[in-house]
Structure 1
Amino acid sequence: MQFTIRDLLSIPLLSSAKLLSANNIISSQAIESVTVMEIPVEDFIKRNELVLTTAIGCGNNPELFLTYVKDVHSSGAAAMAIAVGGHVHYIPDEVINYCKSVNFPLIELPWEIRFSDILKIILEQLNCWEQQSINKADTLQRELLKLYLDNHPIDEVIKFLSKEFQMDVELKCKEQIENSNSLNEISELISTDQPDIIRYDNGKFLQIVPISPLLNQDPFIILFKSRKLNAKPIPTSILNCIVSILTLWIQKEMTSMISKNKEKNEYIKTLLNGSWTEKEAFINQGKKLGFEVNLPYICVVGFPEKLKEFYILHKKESIQEIEKDFKRTFAEIIENISKKLKKHIIYTFQRDLVVIFLECDFQEANHEVNCFLDLIDTFVEQNHIPSISWGIGENYTGNLTFHLGFKNARTALEIGRSHKGPGTRNTFASTGIYRLLISISNNSMSMELMHSTIGAIATYDKNNGLDLIDTLSSYIYHQGNVSQTARALSLHRQSLLYRLRKIEALTNRSLNDPDDIFLLQFCLKLWSVRFENNESYAIAE
């Protein structure tokens, strides 16, 4: 479709010409103009221009010859053809090796071929190619406009272009390119202003065509040479035609996508609040949005730990960029896990929280949810996302009781994270003792009992710099085993015994009496619930 170096070398007049370098790119390197040039180069060479030269003045100076070729290459020339036999009798090895190293086509021409004959043929070819491109662009534009007016989806348009060009065609934004395993290595090379061609050593190439930025996106058309061995780059005039039409499609698709996402968010908000009215209508609305809500689900709520620090480490500095990057990465992870497990998953982001409903078998709910979280943990271990604290709701979530599962999972997260630490998993059932203690902590009689039992220990700790509260807690945890407690606290046995006697004296309770032990343990748990300095975080209501 475009006049290339391969087309140039196939001209009968140039049958005796020799290609000395860059054989792998001659099918994709376009020639858009031709000129005759001698030193100095300065700014007289156009991009993708074929340079014809006799290299006059360079024959006896290999260093000057090499500098001349480097200047031509750096100017963006398509290739350089040197007439040998007049002013230069051979091309130095240094020049040939340089052209091979930078993949720049270097052609050796016999002295007998007139430049005027070459110019005439190439200009005729270029004029013919330009007229073909204009006709092709006009035909393509009319066909694309018809597809647009007939409301065909953009995916069908991409398939149409792929068939038309006999190349793989994709539409991606810059963010997708940066996060693609096959494309991320070129993300720094692409320009957002003009089309570009990326060539590979195996002869394959891809064209990247920027589209006007829309809604904070940088969309690109990417064309891969993969199906046809001698596929040629698509001319710029045709690509510009495609871009002008695709811009209309993208605007329409993005507007539709934003509207649908807004509708999905409103639907999930209703799901979390339990505020629907007509059950069947609500289920049918969910199906239209891709949600199968009439299935059994278990709710899992997560809180990403140290999110800002994690992404600053990964060079994401603004809070908006941090949140956007986490949501995008986490959404991709959930989508991949959903396909792997072949389970329906409904998820959303509520302020600082991740809310997930996982389809499950109630008989296997605990096993399934832990397998699911184990898969997410693999991405934490690979440093793709930060550590996440989890709260797991009751198994009855489903049959439109999502709001109850969400409430329980959020409670499990809050209480578990506060009392068992960040990065842990906690079920609603496992937090029962803490929910009971929180309720009891509001009773004045319970508070008076707690203060009268272990208040003296806390006062002693504050005045003397000891930690008798922690000592008592560890002793009870190890079921009164002095040796195990001493090891756990890194204390000498005699030091531990001294502390235990001090605790008995301050509380007027015996550590050998089961009833006293029970009372001390109860007061310790109540103390932790009442006075622990819990970290707070926002939760969407």
Structure 2
Amino acid sequence: MKISEILKIPVMKNAKLIAGHNGKDREVFSVNMMDAPDIIDFLKPNELLVTTAFHLKDNPNDLLALIKNMADQQCAGLAIKMKRFLEEIPEACLKYANEKNFPIIELPIEVTLGEVVNQTLSYILDKRTNELLNAIEIHQQFTNHILRGKGLVSLLENLANLIGCPILLLDQHFRMIASSSSVTSSLPEIEEMYTDGFRFFLQPSSYTCFSIISSKRTVSVFPIYTHESNSGCLIVFDAIPFHNPSLVLTIEQATNVISFELMKKNALKQHKRKVQNEFFINFTDGAFQSKEEIVIKAKEFKIRNDQSYFCAAGKLDERKKSLTFTQFHKENERIFEFMEKEADAFPNPVHFFVKGNIGILLFPIQKSWLELHSSIMPFLKELQAKIRSRFQRTVSFGIGSLCQQFLDVKKGYKEALEVLEEEQYSGNQEFIQIHKKKDIYTLLKMIPKEELIDFYEQILTNLSDPADSEKQALLQTLFLFLENHCHISETAKKLFVHRNTVIYRLEKCEELIGKSLKDPEATISLRLAFRIKNLLQL
């Protein structure tokens, strides 16, 4: 309740605002009545003090100190019953109150302070009660709106009409989910709100206002929270004043209903995603009995078999900072969710799947395989840049060869995974590598798996201990040494170590495998062993 409204209640009929006229819009949350020297210690912001100035009757000059302290504490104002103990207010007090826009009210002699306090509090409580009842009514209205299935767009339109401002709803990545029809003219301004700095405007359980530089237009931001903490925000294209609780409550009720609607949609999306992932996992693992069964089930997810595809497998690059299992899972989930939403913006519908810690993007080809370089590669590069900027993580992609139909995607996925793991094993990061057919792999696939494993264990058995970090370092050094045509300097560059370290490691490898790396037959056997390792994912 404002000072100007308080002056209109019956008990304040003959009261006068004698100073701080420009502060009559100050909000009054409560009223305090007290006559004590240490009264300032008991006052709160937005509190109106009603007093007879009894404690100031012997020293009226102390009134200036009281007014200064009240102004500093953001009190609403001071109401003094004149002619009781204080004949007049010093000119210095009136001058300071006018400078600080601090309201001073002169109460008439005929009213008691008890009447002033009781009637003022009664009006404040009545107003708060009406605001709460209105908030409950609006909440019920918005809830019924959603329950009838009218959706978020209609809800935002309703809210925009109630408050008279355009409304925009953004997700946690600051992409537009929905908006009122009146926000169309403001779309060029929205791009400025997609910067990384925008997220710092969101504070828990509060809202804030800021201005868009280009248009100098003020917007108000209301965070939306679900079980996943921040789930986005509601943008109101106007300044929503903090001292207008009725308007603030109306918008906050809308954000509460929106949060429940988003949770419902998220639950449905999670279920759909789980079913899609299970289908893709079963497909790539060969769990289906026939090709016809695969084609029929693929149709359920709008995947056509008579369509060409490129399959890209993405994986987060390793980071120095170790994470717990839960932290690692949540980070992957957040980034994969971001990748999925980015895929929605691709010109052609992209199918997204998750298999363990691998994100799979299935790109349909409309015209020719040249789309790989004209649209798919630029999209993946832009996606890498966005993930690096937003999450401070890097991601790498392996791309399989062109799949003439969906049934060939199983092979395309394995090719993408193969090239992805091969490049990451070599220590490369944030790459996009296309699979190239290798004759050696074709030959190895013709050999029974058991014999390949026997050969691998015979050659690298003393180096292939996953639990031994030292042996793993030796194994990686040996692999890069062979891949770089036995050039020690090039190997050292790839490993970011001194060439003497490489020499030492290679000598250790010779000791463990019992063969000289200068022996051509030994290096051929080692190269084959590493190819078998990649092929069988040993």
TM-score tier after normalising by the smaller chain length: 0.5 to 0.7
Q: How does 1:424-435 map to 2 (within 5 A)?
A: 424-429=431-436, 433=440
Paired letter, 1:335: K
Partner residue in 2 for 1:455: none
Q: Give the direction of change, closer, same or farther, for the CA distance of 1:182–1:429 in structure 2 (3 Å limit).
A: closer
User: 1:305 aligned to 317, 323, 326, which one?
Assistant: 317
User: Is residue 161 of structure 1 aligned with residue 159 of structure 2?
Assistant: yes
Deviation of the 1:226 alpha carbon: 0.9
Paired letter, 1:299: C
Paired letter, 1:323: H
User: 2:350 aligned to 345, 350, 355, which one?
Assistant: 345
> RMSD value over aligned CA atoms?
6.0
Whose RCO is larger (CA < 8 A, sep 6+)? 1
Deviation of the 1:475 alpha carbon: 9.1
What is the alpha-carbon distance in structure 1 between the residues aligned to residue 222 and residue 296 of structure 2?
Answer: 45
Partner residue in 2 for 1:50: 48
CA contact (8 A) 1:166 1:228 kept: no
What is the alpha-carbon distance in structure 2 between the residues aligned to residue 285 and residue 484 of structure 1?
Answer: 50
What is the alpha-carbon distance in structure 2 between the residues aligned to residue 175 and residue 388 of structure 1?
Answer: 18
User: Is residue 234 of structure 1 aligned with residue 246 of structure 2?
Assistant: yes
User: 1:31 aligned to 28, 33, 52, which one?
Assistant: 28
Deviation of the 1:416 alpha carbon: 3.5
Partner residue in 2 for 1:539: none
Q: How many residues align?
A: 463
SS of alignment partner, residue 351 of structure 2? strand
What is the alpha-carbon distance in structure 2 between the residues aligned to residue 153 and residue 5 of structure 1?
Answer: 41
Structure 2 residue runs of 5 or longer lacking an equivalent are 176-193, 461-470, 508-513
CA contact (8 A) 1:54 1:87 kept: no
Structure 1 residue runs of 5 or longer lacking an equivalent are 100-105, 452-461, 500-505, 537-541
CA contact (8 A) 2:240 2:247 kept: no
What is the alpha-carbon distance in structure 1 between the residues aligned to residue 533 and residue 316 of structure 2?
Answer: 25
Q: How does 1:94-493 map to 2 (within 5 A)?
A: 106-109=101-104, 111=106, 126=124, 129=127, 133=131, 136-137=134-135, 140=138, 143-144=141-142, 146-167=144-165, 184-188=199-203, 190-191=204-205, 198=208, 206=220, 215=227, 217=229, 224=236, 226=238, 232-234=244-246, 254-255=263-264, 257-274=266-283, 275=288, 277=292, 282=297, 285-287=300-302, 295-306=307-318, 309-310=320-321, 318-336=324-342, 338-339=344-345, 341-360=346-365, 361-366=368-373, 368-379=375-386, 381-382=388-389, 384-396=391-403, 398-399=405-406, 401-419=408-426, 421=428, 423-429=430-436, 433=440, 436=443, 442=451, 476=485
Q: Give the direction of change, closer, same or farther, for the CA distance of 1:447–1:321 in structure 2 (3 Å limit).
A: closer
Paired letter, 1:150: R
Partner residue in 2 for 1:86: 88
Q: Deviations over 1:166-197 (max 9, x none)?
A: 345677899989x9857633544x34xxxx56
Paired letter, 2:244: K
Task: Provide the identity percentage.
Answer: 14
Q: Deviations over 1:202-248 (max 9, x none)?
A: 9968585988xx655577985747178999332788689768xx56x
Deviation of the 1:87 alpha carbon: 4.8
SS of alignment partner, residue 159 of structure 2? helix
Q: Give the direction of change, closer, same or farther, for the CA distance of 1:149–1:234 in structure 2 (3 Å limit).
A: same
What is the alpha-carbon distance in structure 1 between the residues aligned to residue 139 and residue 490 of structure 2?
Answer: 81
What is the alpha-carbon distance in structure 2 between the residues aligned to residue 529 and residue 268 of structure 1?
Answer: 29
Q: Deviations over 1:462-517 (max 9, x none)?
A: 9xx9xx98999599578xxx99999999999xx9xxx9xxxxxx9999x9xxxx97
Deviation of the 1:374 alpha carbon: 1.7
What is the alpha-carbon distance in structure 2 between the residues aligned to residue 215 and residue 448 of structure 1?
Answer: 49
SS of alignment partner, residue 238 of structure 2? coil
What is the alpha-carbon distance in structure 1 between the residues aligned to residue 152 and residue 260 of structure 2?
Answer: 11
